[in-house]
Structures are given as C-alpha cells and as structure tokens.
Chains A and B, each alone.
Chain A
Amino acid sequence: MKKLLLITAILISLLSTGYNLASTNNPIKVFHSYDYQTIVKNKTKPFVMMFWSIDCSPCLSEMRKISTLSANEKKKFVFISTDGHELKKEIGNLLHQLDLENENNWVFNSNDIDEIISVIDKRWYGETPRSYYFDKKNHRTLLKNH
C-alpha cells in the first residue's frame, strides 16, 4: 500500500511538473532595451516585430486577424506589448483570448519604456500598433498602418 501511495505521489508530481512546463512553455518575457538587438541578431529568417498595447483597439483588430493564420505563420511574428511588465497578467489573459498566448510574446520593462522605444526607433513615439518587417538580411521596414 505504501509503495502504491509512493508511486501515485511520484506520478502526480511528474504529471504536475509536466503540466507546469507545458503551461509556461512560452511565457511572456520582459523586454529590455538590449533585447531588441538580440532578437534581431538571432533571427536568421524574415519576421515581423509587432508592438501593441492593451488599450489599443486597432491593435487587437490586427491581432485577431493574425490569430486566424496557421500555426506556422503565427510563428513568424514577435509580439511585444508596450504596456509595462506589471500588467503581465492582464496581457496574458488577452493573449489567451486572442489565441496568441503560445507565440513569441514580450512585454516592456516598465522602468525603461522611454529608453526602450528610443533604442528601437527614434521616430517612434509609442503609438500603436507599430510593426516592422525584417527581411532575411535583417533589413527593417516599417509597415504603414494608414
């Protein structure tokens, strides 16, 4: 009986560990100013970097459209919330609703928002959505959202 209890305990432990790993497989990462260059450098194929905020209705419209793309296509986006990391939970809930919670998601470090924005693009003043297309040579093009 003791052996059975022990095995059950181990199984529960393993299962719960597995569950936790699965549920946090792609957590929202906190974005610092140095992360921009690191992300770009590490990308070997074209991608879109999209900056968005939870208060931005047009952002959500775009993200709803992106969420209808295939899983492979969705992987071509890096989503970065400009809201500040203390809103991680709210951002996570929204990403879940949009079915984008398993994508490459980031949120600005609240303490450095202005610095981060100026490092990314001196002509960007925080308006959202703001999306950049990076080609295979990492050349960046701002996607106009007229």
Chain B
Amino acid sequence: MKYYRTILLSAVSIMLTAAANAAQHQHHSKHVADPLCKDSSEQKCAKTVSSVFDAKGRLWSTWTDKQFLYVNFSDDNGKNFSKAVRVNAIAEKIAARNEHRPKIKIGKNRTVLLSWTTKLNKRFTGNIRFSRSTDLGVTFSQPVTVNDNHDIISHRFDAMAVNNAGHIYISWLDKRDQLAAKQAGKKYHGAAAYYAISTDNGNSFKANKKIADHSCECCRMAIDIDRNDLPVISWRHIYEKNIRDHAITSFVRQNQPAKPFRLSNDQWKINGCPHHGPSLSIDSKNRYHAVWFNNAEKNHGVFYAHSDNNGETFSQQITVGNYDKRASHADIKVSDNKVYITWKEQHDKDSVIYLMASEDMGDSWEKPFIIARSPRNTDYPFIINKNNKAFISWHIPGSAYRLIPISE
C-alpha cells in the first residue's frame, strides 16, 4: 500500500507525455529469432534442461517444447544422446523457464520419474503432474495430477526427491488455503507448502499433506533426503507482513513433517516476487548444507550455511560469489565427502559459471573459480552426481546442453 501511495504521489506530480518516446525507439525493437531453433524440439533449443544420472551411470535429461515433455539419455556423459521420447501424448502448458522446470529423478529398478507444473487457463494457476517410465524410457505412463485439490488455483513449483527405500516425495506451493480463507472473507498471505508421497514407485500417491502456511508463491523449493531416509524441504517463506526469508523442515517419520525452522534471517522486505529459491544438500553425517539468495538492505547476495541439528540452528552464514557481478541462482551438492556450490554471475555481456568446493564439509571453502562462460544468456547451473563423481549440468538455450566434470 505504501508502495502504491508512493507511485500515485509520484504520478500526480509528473507532467509527462510519453508518446514521442515510443516512436523514437521503434528502430531498436526489431528482433531476429534464433535461426538454429525455429520450430525445433531439439534439446539444445529448450529454455531449460534437467538431468540426473541413474545408478548405472546413464544420464537422463528432460526438457519441453511446445507443450510437450521430452526425455533422452546418454551413456557417454552427454557426448551423444539417444533419440528423444515424447512423454505426454496430449499437449499441456508445461512451465519451463527460470525457476520453473520439469524435474527428473530415478526410482526403484531404474524407473525414470518426472514431475512438472502444468499451467491452467487462469493466470497464476497450475497443477502438479507426474509420469514415469518403467521400461528405461521407451514409454511413459499417462501423466497424473498429484495435487488432490482440483480448484483452478496455484499448485506450482514442484520439487521431487527419492529416498533409498524408493519412496517418492513431491512438494509444491499450493493456494487451496488462500482460497478457503478468501471464501471465508479472511486474509491469507502467500501460499502454503504441501507434499505427497508415493510408496509404490510412482504407481499412486497418498493424500496431500500440508507442511506450512504462508510460503512465498513464486520461488523454487528445495528437497533432499537425510540420513534417516526422510525428506528435508526448504522454501522461501513469508514472515511477519512481508519479510521473505527461508524456512526448512525435516520429517519425523515417513509421512509426517516436523515443525519448520527458520533457515535465513536476512529480513528481505518485499511485496513482490523474488523469483529466487534455495538449494539444499545433506551429507552422510546428516549435516544440512544450504544456499540461498536475499536482496535485503543489510544482507544481500548468495549465502551458505549448514546445520547439525535438523535445521534448528545454522552456522554463521558466509557470502558466496560477487554481489556486484550479480551472483545468483546457486546450487549445492554433497559429493564424495566434498561439498560443491555453483552459481551464475554476469560479467559485462557474459554469463559466467563459478564453482567453489569444501573438503571439510562446509567448515572452510576453497577459492572459487570460473568453470564455464558464455556470451549468451544461459540457464542456471546445477550439480548432479554420477555415483560419487560430480558434474555441472548447464544449458545454453539455442546453443548446447553441457555436462562439465568437476571432481576427479
């Protein structure tokens, strides 16, 4: 409201005619579409690519084009890929850009698992969708909707993890409680964090359960599996009126989340969309490693911290990357007793990908270095493990998908 008043006051004081401006800029508005990717469903033409290795070292990738989801695989670390298989027979508006992207994981018996958000016709609405392949990617099951509330509201920003028992956890941000509050004439801030579990390798999902009310509504969630073979989930939360910091929850048992704790306390006050969610990875001693972004007055940038008590408290946070170079969208992964963080920076016109490693599980960090760069605008970097070897999974839309080895 304060913001709106400021805008109005500003607007009233303005004496402006904008029409000439538009005409003066017409000559800049021409844009030539990328000729490489016109009407192409190729992987390299996608906005986002998500990948995972299975236990036998096969790399599985998924991406979208024109309302269809595709999957292929590579047995030589991404040098050559199989012919792509289309997942959904019926077109649907799959969310796949920026913080939205389909997820791919491997279940029991090398079952290929996919989750994604399908946009519905009303703005800011969506459903959480799931499909699987039990024949090594030859065919995929007819997609199902995981959210058991079917109002035309927001069920978006899916995250997926599979534990050692093969149980599949999918979490997402859900506005069913906001709708109920609205119908009751009450106010409800943001969305809610929900999840569903499948204990039969994706054949079915149990009833949806709520983790917490009042999540932020436009940032990705993070999920990993802890030493107890239970999920840990983190998301951007709304504290007080409009402080958008991060929350984290472990689970007390298979289908029962614990009380969430506060992961970050940077006090970013914003009545808007940060478009910037956290990343999480848990080591064999059950230390939670987290990276997140905030742009608060005092604390701004990418931060790292770890927790040895199920998220109740975190270590003193350290800054990751160069804030003035737009360090952002960090991903973290534990791999063979090391912890890696990758993130993206903007150096003049180049997208630059950094890597930073810790050999003592986050107590100290080696000097960060540039592992890749591109003169093009690129997707965010992610770290994936091939058994105990780590790779950066990085996509340059319209150019190439790259898998960059980062461990010996």
Taking beta carbons and an 8 Å cutoff, which residues of A are in contact with B? Answer: 26-27, 29-30, 32, 34-35, 38-39, 42-43, 45-48, 53-60, 62, 65-66, 69, 73, 75-78, 84-85, 94, 103-104, 109-115, 117-118, 122-131, 133, 143-146
Residues on B with C-beta less than 8 A from A131 are: 3, 7
The answer on a CB contact under 8 Å between B275 and A53 is: yes
Q: Cβ of B16 < 8 Å from any Cβ of A?
A: yes
CB distance from A97 to the nearest CB of B (A): 9
Q: Which residue of B lies closest to A50 (CB)?
A: B7
The answer on a CB contact under 8 Å between B18 and A78 is: yes
Residues on B with C-beta less than 8 A from A30 are: 28-31
Q: What CA separation (Å) do A104 and B24 show in the bound complex? A: 12
Residues on A with C-beta less than 8 A from B14 are: 45-48, 73, 76
Residues on B with C-beta less than 8 A from A109 are: 31
CB distance from B366 to the nearest CB of A (A): 25
Q: Cβ of B273 < 8 Å from any Cβ of A?
A: yes
The answer on a CB contact under 8 Å between B218 and A122 is: no
Q: What CA separation (Å) do A62 and B98 show in the bound complex? A: 23
Q: A27-B29, A114-B346, A143-B6 are in contact. List 14 more A-B contacts (CB 8 A).
A: A29-B25, A39-B21, A43-B16, A55-B98, A55-B273, A57-B273, A58-B272, A59-B273, A66-B7, A75-B19, A114-B351, A122-B324, A146-B2, A146-B242
The residue that A126 contacts in the complex, of B3, B276, B348, with Cβ under 8 A, is B276
Q: Which residue of B lies closest to A88 (CB)?
A: B31
Q: What CA separation (Å) do A32 and B29 show in the bound complex? A: 8
Residues on A with C-beta less than 8 A from B271 are: 58, 145-146
Q: Cβ of B15 < 8 Å from any Cβ of A?
A: yes
The answer on a CB contact under 8 Å between B7 and A114 is: no
The answer on a CB contact under 8 Å between B272 and A46 is: no
Q: Mark B248-274, 1 if CB is under 8 A from A, else 0.
A: 000000000000000000000111111
Q: What CA separation (Å) do A117 and B344 show in the bound complex? A: 14
The residue that B218 contacts in the complex, of A26, A55, A94, with Cβ under 8 A, is A55
Q: Cβ of B316 < 8 Å from any Cβ of A?
A: no
The answer on a CB contact under 8 Å between B275 and A75 is: no
Take A43-B16, A110-B377, A125-B328 as given contacts and tell me if A38 and B28 are in contact as well, using a CB distance cutoff of 8 Å.
yes
Q: Cβ of B26 < 8 Å from any Cβ of A?
A: yes
The answer on a CB contact under 8 Å between B7 and A48 is: yes
CB distance from A50 to the nearest CB of B (A): 8
The answer on a CB contact under 8 Å between A55 and B124 is: yes
Residues on B with C-beta less than 8 A from A39 are: 21, 25
The answer on a CB contact under 8 Å between B21 and A144 is: no
How large, as a class, is the contact surface on chain B? Answer: 35 or more
Q: Cβ of B187 < 8 Å from any Cβ of A?
A: no
Residues on A with C-beta less than 8 A from B123 are: 54, 60, 94
Residue in B16, B17, B20, B344 with the greatest tally of chain A CB atoms within 10 Å: B16
Q: Cβ of B300 < 8 Å from any Cβ of A?
A: yes
The residue that A29 contacts in the complex, of B12, B28, B344, with Cβ under 8 A, is B28
- Quick one: which of B171-219 are within 8 Å of A by CB? 217-218
13 A-B residue pairings within 8 Å (CB atoms) = A39-B21, A55-B100, A76-B11, A77-B18, A84-B97, A104-B22, A109-B31, A125-B328, A128-B275, A130-B272, A145-B2, A145-B271, A146-B241
The answer on a CB contact under 8 Å between A32 and B18 is: no
Residues on A with C-beta less than 8 A from B273 are: 53, 55-59, 127-128
The answer on a CB contact under 8 Å between A125 and B276 is: yes
The answer on a CB contact under 8 Å between B11 and A77 is: yes
The answer on a CB contact under 8 Å between A26 and B272 is: no
Residues on B with C-beta less than 8 A from A85 are: 31
Residues on B with C-beta less than 8 A from A65 are: 4
Q: What CA separation (Å) do A30 and B275 show in the bound complex? A: 22
Take A45-B15, A48-B14, A62-B7 as given contacts and tell me if A127 and B275 are in contact as well, using a CB distance cutoff of 8 Å.
yes
Q: Which 8 A-B pairs have the closest CB atoms?
A: A145-B3, A29-B29, A76-B14, A46-B14, A56-B273, A76-B16, A45-B16, A114-B346
Q: What CA separation (Å) do A103 and B29 show in the bound complex? A: 16
Q: Cβ of B349 < 8 Å from any Cβ of A?
A: yes
The answer on a CB contact under 8 Å between A42 and B274 is: no
Q: What CA separation (Å) do A79 and B14 show in the bound complex? A: 16
Q: Cβ of B10 < 8 Å from any Cβ of A?
A: yes
CB distance from A131 to the nearest CB of B (A): 6
CB distance from B215 to the nearest CB of A (A): 13
Q: What CA separation (Å) do A76 and B21 show in the bound complex? A: 11
The answer on a CB contact under 8 Å between A111 and B376 is: yes
Q: What CA separation (Å) do A46 and B14 show in the bound complex? A: 5
Residues on A with C-beta less than 8 A from B12 are: 73
Take A30-B31, A112-B377, A117-B326 as given contacts and tell me if A75 and B295 are in contact as well, using a CB distance cutoff of 8 Å.
no
CB distance from B14 to the nearest CB of A (A): 4
The residue that A42 contacts in the complex, of B8, B15, B21, B30, with Cβ under 8 A, is B21
Q: Cβ of B80 < 8 Å from any Cβ of A?
A: no
Q: What CA separation (Å) do A84 and B18 show in the bound complex? A: 23
The answer on a CB contact under 8 Å between B349 and A115 is: yes
